[in-house]
Structure 1
Amino acid sequence: MSKTNFLSFLVPPLPYFIEGNITTYQKGDWHPNRYNLGYFDVIIVKEGLLHIGEEDEAWKVTENYALILEPDKHHFPIEACTEQTSFYWFHFQTNSTWCAQSSPDLIVPSTPIPELHFHSEHTTIHLPKIQKVVNPHELFSKLDYLLSSTLKPRKLALWEAQQTFVNIFQSLEHDQNNKDSSSKLAEQIEIYLKQNYKNAITNKDLEAHFHVHQNYLARCMKTAFHRTPLEYLMDYRLDQGRSLLLQTDWSVQQITEETGFSQASYFSKCFKQKFGMSPKNYRQQYWKPTH
């Protein structure tokens, strides 16, 4: 069984907050022994030390550390507290796909997001299973605000609690500084391709721009996005073409030129390979004639 270092969530939709509080244990107190809670349990120690296990893993969660326990596993105390220990805890859940991983790999969605009016990409958010909080005082302030918001009238509490939770969730996300150089390079390539997709781009162009051999560029992109740079570029161009088919009345030739393809016939061929129908037929399935 591989060790869980990250919990990865496919968004949208975003996970949502359920409940939370701050708890203080005295010396000799034990954390509860629980099975199959049905939601994620986040524990952030403010002072002291918790000895917690989950299945075949165990942690000493010390001051300013955050641990996430999974909804379908057995959580149990390893030993009683040896000192006064205060910790924030909150529960959350998601209706989307998530998984436990040894490394922060992308989750590939099983179905695309409908995009009749705009294009919204799936993103994988990675939370370390256990981490030292970078700015604990700032996070504690957010947690205090989250807990206070739950005491307000129900409708106001709903909006404030969920908005604050998203902010906290973002604070716990796998930090950019923890990414290795290949991941950072892959993201730079992604940005470059999105900014320049209307232009002709070759592997040699990428090599010259990033001053790195094209084979290494391809390896970085394959690791991060499961596609080479040119495969990513092709998919992005086709996604932009699909959006234009839905949002405009431009001809296929106009869309071809706008998305960086050299010939309408090649655009149509690639479009059909990806989406299973021609650009014309794809547009017609969302088009209703006026009388």
Structure 2
Amino acid sequence: MSKTDFLSFLVPPLPYFIEGNFTTYQKGDWHPNRYNLGYFDVIIIKEGLLHIGEEDEAWKVSENYALILEPDKHHFPIEACTGQTSFYWFHLQTNSTWRAQSSPNPITPSSPIPELHFHSEHTTIHLPKFQKIINPHELFSKLDYLLASTLKPRKLALWETQQTFVNIFKNLEYDENYKNSSAKLAEQIEIYLKQNYKITITNRDLEAHFHVHQNYLARCMKAAFQRTPLEYLMDYRLDQGRSLLLQTDWSVQQITEETGFSQASYFSKCFKEKFGMSPKNYRQQYWKPAN
């Protein structure tokens, strides 16, 4: 373990994105040698290895690992790249209090926020200085989106870039309620299923997307939600179908297609198994004729 294991930020205000890019080094290339950069430098390796030092500490940052270098310290390469190395990097800064710590201890604000009305609480966000990325594919997609947003017209880029950055910042956060990597993965699977329930999803699709064996995906979901990914997907699709039966006058065939089922007969069969009646009878039970 390094002497500094966490970088802790008092929020609000939230840290903000300055700049970033995706860089590839070839064999023999060296990472820059820098003093007092002035902002945090976050490095996330997609392929290869960087051997980086900061003051009297050193890390071998390999594929799917992230390292955060501090703004007021000297960081430098320890070895040249031994092979092609590709990585995302971005700089961030904060106008709030931050602290390098060996454990995730809260920071006490010097001036508390008034509590007369609706208000934002001060809290402390902890980022591990060096960590393995739990779901690299998802994070890489967000980073690609972040970098693409910076190329848009200035006004649009301002909001889109900073909003995307907040999501990335959250991905890197240490959350004591989710110390277990399997719980984090289950949460990511849930988000993916809810975002993509209208399309065909198989265990092989999930395996390819998350780069984790389908058996492990199933164990994570069962531990968190008591259902496998496909069982969760089925329940979510049926819940969406039930809402559409009550809120629209769409035909069962339309609802079948909208909720990701391949055939109306299969949708009706699954619906009856869960809710005890056919989609048509379910709608009639709650439907009231207009006066």
Q: TM-score, normalised by structure 2?
A: 0.60
Whole-angstrom CA distance in 1 between matches of 2:161 and 2:79: 33
Aligned position for 2:146: 146
Aligned position for 1:73: 73
Aligned position for 1:126: 126
Aligned position for 1:41: 41
Aligned position for 1:110: 110
Displacement of 1:24 in angstroms is 0.1
SS in 2 for 1:164: helix
Whole-angstrom CA distance in 2 between matches of 1:110 and 1:50: 39
Displacement of 1:115 in angstroms is 3.9
Aligned position for 1:84: 84
**1:127-147, Cα deviation, whole Å (9 max, x unpaired):** 000000000000000000000
Whole-angstrom CA distance in 1 between matches of 2:116 and 2:162: 27
Whole-angstrom CA distance in 1 between matches of 2:135 and 2:70: 24
Whole-angstrom CA distance in 1 between matches of 2:116 and 2:151: 39
Whole-angstrom CA distance in 1 between matches of 2:177 and 2:62: 22
SS in 2 for 1:147: helix
SS in 1 for 2:87: strand
SS in 2 for 1:61: strand
Displacement of 1:120 in angstroms is 2.0
Aligned position for 1:206: none
The code of the aligned residue for 1:154 comes to R
**Contiguous gaps of at least 5 residues in structure 1:** 181-291
Displacement of 1:179 in angstroms is 4.5
The code of the aligned residue for 2:151 comes to L
Alignment of 1:1-291 (within 5 A): 3-176=3-176, 179=179
Distance 1:177 1:132, change over 3 A: farther
**1:96-124, Cα deviation, whole Å (9 max, x unpaired):** 00000000000001111134432321100
The code of the aligned residue for 2:55 comes to E
**Contiguous gaps of at least 5 residues in structure 2:** 181-291
Count matched residues. 179
Distance 1:178 1:55, change over 3 A: farther
Q: TM-score, normalised by structure 1?
A: 0.60
SS in 2 for 1:34: coil
SS in 1 for 2:166: helix
Displacement of 1:4 in angstroms is 0.1
SS in 1 for 2:18: strand
SS in 1 for 2:79: coil
Moved over 2 A (4+): 114-117, 175-180
| Percent identity of paired positions between Structure 1 and Structure 2 | 88
Whole-angstrom CA distance in 1 between matches of 2:151 and 2:161: 10
Whole-angstrom CA distance in 1 between matches of 2:102 and 2:178: 15
SS in 1 for 2:21: strand
Whole-angstrom CA distance in 1 between matches of 2:138 and 2:27: 27
Whole-angstrom CA distance in 2 between matches of 1:43 and 1:177: 25
Aligned position for 1:258: none
The code of the aligned residue for 2:83 comes to E
Whole-angstrom CA distance in 1 between matches of 2:141 and 2:99: 29
The code of the aligned residue for 1:4 comes to T
Aligned position for 1:188: none
SS in 2 for 1:95: coil
Whole-angstrom CA distance in 1 between matches of 2:178 and 2:65: 16
Whole-angstrom CA distance in 1 between matches of 2:92 and 2:160: 15
The code of the aligned residue for 1:175 comes to D
**1:159-185, Cα deviation, whole Å (9 max, x unpaired):** 0000000000000000345659xxxxx
Whole-angstrom CA distance in 2 between matches of 1:120 and 1:167: 19
SS in 2 for 1:146: helix
Whole-angstrom CA distance in 1 between matches of 2:134 and 2:114: 37
The code of the aligned residue for 2:53 comes to G
Aligned position for 1:235: none
SS in 1 for 2:114: coil
